[in-house]
Amino acid sequence: MKTVLLIGIGAGDPEHITVQAINALNRAQVFFILDKGYADDELLRLRTEICQRYITAPGYRIVVVHDPQRKADPLSYQRGVERWHEQRAVLFERLIDEELRPDETGGFLVWGDPSLYDSTLRILERVLSRGAIAFDYQVIPGISSVQALAAQHRIPLNRIGEPIQITTGRRLALDEGANVDNTVVMLDAHSAFEGFLGRGLHIYWGAYLGTDHEILIAGELDEVCEHIKHVRQKARQDRGWIMDAYLLRKLD
Ligand SMILES: C[S@@+](CC[C@H](N)C(=O)[O-])C[C@H]1O[C@@H](n2cnc3c(N)ncnc32)[C@H](O)[C@@H]1O
């Protein structure tokens, strides 16, 4: 039986990798690397660097494939995502079918942790439910950008006995009336924090966490909002892409 490993590789620092992930890397004969087509191919470079640095088993193969871009559906966000997942399922099915020999193990290097805002697991389940091919799969957890954000700012994510929420910039923008207290925001393309001025919030913001280009800014949202927007825009312009995340927390 073929086996597929979803290996969490951390959020940017090659040293985020766990011992379990290193062992998994050394079990696979083939690695599937999805090229997201960023202008700066740093993310692709990090994945190949991880393979070179940690794999001691000889003769592994790397298959880089172009990851289909999600096309927004003007009528329904959900439908756009659905169509994109189907396209990716067809691609994954072909990769596992054609690139893995019977009894071989393949690995997907998943950014951060596979359980957090990543569709690889859902897509593998979709491939299985299509019924054309069979394989076993396992998930190896990784250090997520949320953990990297908390570590770099040297903060606990929750306050004593309180809950935390993890959401997306898109959802946060839809919930502008919501009572944001202790919320981590990811996938924010439009600085949604700007809609939360004047509410006594503190922000802990981080971009390119764990990489050589890491940027950290923290302070009262009302005071640092414009600064973050400026730094964010410039960084995106300079590098061609940005990955940032932040925690919004009510001031005590
Ligand atoms: C598709 S999600 C993947 C999350 C990933 N599975 C994880 O565990 O962190 C991508 C989002 O994660 C956040 N992210 C991932 N890596 C990051 C990094 N190195 N620095 C800042 N944010 C990061 C950003 O909010 C980005 O838009």
- What pLDDT is stored for residue 129 in this prediction? 95
Q: Which residues pair with 224 in a beta bridge?
A: none
Average predicted confidence (pLDDT) for the chain: 92
Ligand 1 neighbours, Cβ below 6 Å, are 11-12, 111-113, 116-118, 144-145, 186-187, 206-210, 243-245
Q: Are residues 173 and 114 in the same domain?
A: no
Domain boundary among 124, 143, 162: 143
Q: Ligand 1 pocket: which of 45, 46, 111 to mutate (most atoms <8 Å of CB)?
A: 111
Task: Look at 64 and 232; give whichever has higher pLDDT.
Answer: 232
> DSSP for 169-227?
HHHHHHTTTS--SEEEEES-SS-GGGGGTTS-EEEEEEESTTSTT-EEEEEEHHHHHHH
Q: How many domains does the chain have?
A: 2
- Segment 151-165 shows an average pLDDT of 94
Distance 145 CA to ligand 1 centre (A): 5
Distance 102 CA to ligand 1 centre (A): 34
| Rounded Cα gap, residues 27 and 2, in angstroms | 12
Instruction: Please say if the pLDDT value at position 31 is more than 60.
Output: yes
Q: Are residues 168 and 245 in the same domain?
A: yes
- What pLDDT is stored for residue 240 in this prediction? 87
| Rounded Cα gap, residues 92 and 25, in angstroms | 19
User: Contact, 252 vs 188, CB < 8 A?
Assistant: no
- What pLDDT is stored for residue 43 in this prediction? 78
User: Contact, 155 vs 204, CB < 8 A?
Assistant: yes
Q: Are residues 176 and 136 in the same domain?
A: no
- Segment 74-78 shows an average pLDDT of 73
Of 20-29, 31-40, 47-56, 82-91, which range is least confident? 31-40
What residues make up the domain containing 201?
146-250
- Segment 51-74 shows an average pLDDT of 84
Q: How many other β-carbons are positioned within 10 Å of the β-carbon of residue 66?
A: 10
Q: Which of 251, 250, 252, 232 is nearest to 242 (CA)?
A: 232
Place 143 in a pLDDT band, splitting at 50, 70 and 90: very high
Distance 11 CA to ligand 1 centre (A): 6
Q: Which residues pair with 138 in a beta bridge?
A: 5
Q: Are residues 17 and 86 in the same domain?
A: yes
Q: Are residues 26 and 132 in the same domain?
A: yes
Domain boundary among 143, 165, 184: 143
| pTM reported for the whole predicted model | 0.93
**pLDDT tens-digit readout, 210-224:** 999 999 999 999 999
Q: Are residues 68 and 15 in the same domain?
A: yes
Domain boundary among 143, 173, 203: 143
- What pLDDT is stored for residue 37 in this prediction? 63
- What pLDDT is stored for residue 150 in this prediction? 98
**pLDDT tens-digit readout, 173-221:** 998 777 788 999 999 999 999 999 999 999 999 999 999 999 999 999 9
| Rounded Cα gap, residues 28 and 26, in angstroms | 6
Distance 244 CA to ligand 1 centre (A): 7
- What pLDDT is stored for residue 63 in this prediction? 92
Place 38 in a pLDDT band, splitting at 50, 70 and 90: low
> DSSP for 108-146?
EEESB-TTSS--HHHHHHHHHHH-S---EEEEE----HH
| Rounded Cα gap, residues 143 and 7, in angstroms | 11
Q: Are residues 170 and 182 in the same domain?
A: yes
